[in-house]
Amino acid sequence: MNVNEAMEMLERNVEEIVTSADLKDVLASMPDSTDKLRAYVGFEPSGVVHIGHLPLITKLRELQRIGFHVIVLLADMHAYLNEKGSLEDIRVTADYNKRCFTAAGLSDETEYIFGASFQMQEDYMLNVLKLATVTTEKRARRSMDELSRSKEDRKVSQLIYPLMQAIDIASLGIDVAVGGIDQRKIHMLARENLPKLGFKAPICIHTPLLIGLDGEKMSSSLGNFISVHEPAEDVESKLKAAFCTPEVADGNPVLQIYKHTIFPVVEEIRIERPVKYGGDMNYKRYEDLERDYTGGQLHPLDVKTTAARYLNEILAPIRSRL
């Protein structure tokens, strides 16, 4: 795969790459490098692994296909700092997360690292303190706006969180940091402040956040998501009841599932319909499906039932491995 082909794949279905020019330069250097480039994502172990995680997994799989060494940081200490439970309970959830990510198709070469395995070392903590001397309180607080469990009366631990995440990137020698767009402020803190400590600035790839099936923010407490081990019949019933306003694409969770979960792994979508309703429709590009849907040529129920069929095909091997 040449550089342009790799860039086209990595730029697909992302919110942004900071920066694309830097990433292109790194990809161009790969054939001459004796060591694999390193990409990582940090997952805070909490709750159920759901289809909102799949865009990140897909991007990691693409990086592996290009030749990156991928690290999944099971951020148990971060979860503890963010009030997600006791360290013992968090570790159990982290083990579950690891099984889910492996089942979702990351290669056997994926390296899983628990944060607690290196984050208490002297050099690591010294670097956290050094980073604290060049980071304002306002910047640390703002970087946690999208991630803090406590929105009011936040704990000091939630200001330490972004500093540790930046030092994670430095300590693990990361070239490319991958995360949802909610990670952007922390990644920008790392890009701007790590060089002040003598570390390189990471390239950052940000994927979109899928909205919940009700059209609201996806949340474990609301149950408006589909887990990666959801029974097939539950996937069908949830999608049948999902918010899917006719002729509207923005804020449509079903269309998001097509764009970010189905089309990246399925070469062609077939929407099966009786001849009296126009017959079957085939799509190789999400944009064509969205055009026909917003143009009124596809009925919401046909879109929903087809989404359930393909999503169950994607989830079937994950279910079987858990």
More confident residue, 219 or 147: 219
pLDDT score of 272:
94
Give the E-state strand segments of 208-278 in sequence order: 269-271
pLDDT of residue 36 exceeding 70: yes
C-alpha to C-alpha distance for 55 and 134, rounded to whole angstroms = 33
The mean pLDDT of 102-112, rounded to a whole number, is: 93
Tens-place pLDDT, residues 164-213: 999 999 999 999 999 999 999 999 999 999 999 999 999 999 999 999 99
pLDDT of residue 3 exceeding 90: yes
Beta carbons of 3 and 21 less than 8 angstroms apart? no
pLDDT score of 75:
95
Dihedral over Cα of 16, 304, 212, 39: its sign: negative
Beta carbons of 38 and 172 less than 8 angstroms apart? yes
Ordered alpha helix ranges (H), the chain: 3-11, 20-29, 54-66, 76-81, 87-103, 122-132, 137-143, 157-171, 184-193, 232-240, 253-257, 286-294, 300-321
pTM of the model: 0.92
Give the whole-number percent of the chain exceeding pLDDT 90: 81
Tally Cβ neighbours within 10 Å of residue 277. Answer: 9
C-alpha to C-alpha distance for 186 and 63, rounded to whole angstroms = 21
The mean pLDDT of 12-18, rounded to a whole number, is: 95
Tally Cβ neighbours within 10 Å of residue 87. Answer: 12
The distance of Cα 193 from the centroid of its chain, to the nearest Å, equals: 24
C-alpha to C-alpha distance for 44 and 320, rounded to whole angstroms = 24
pLDDT of residue 118 exceeding 60: yes
pLDDT of residue 146 exceeding 90: no
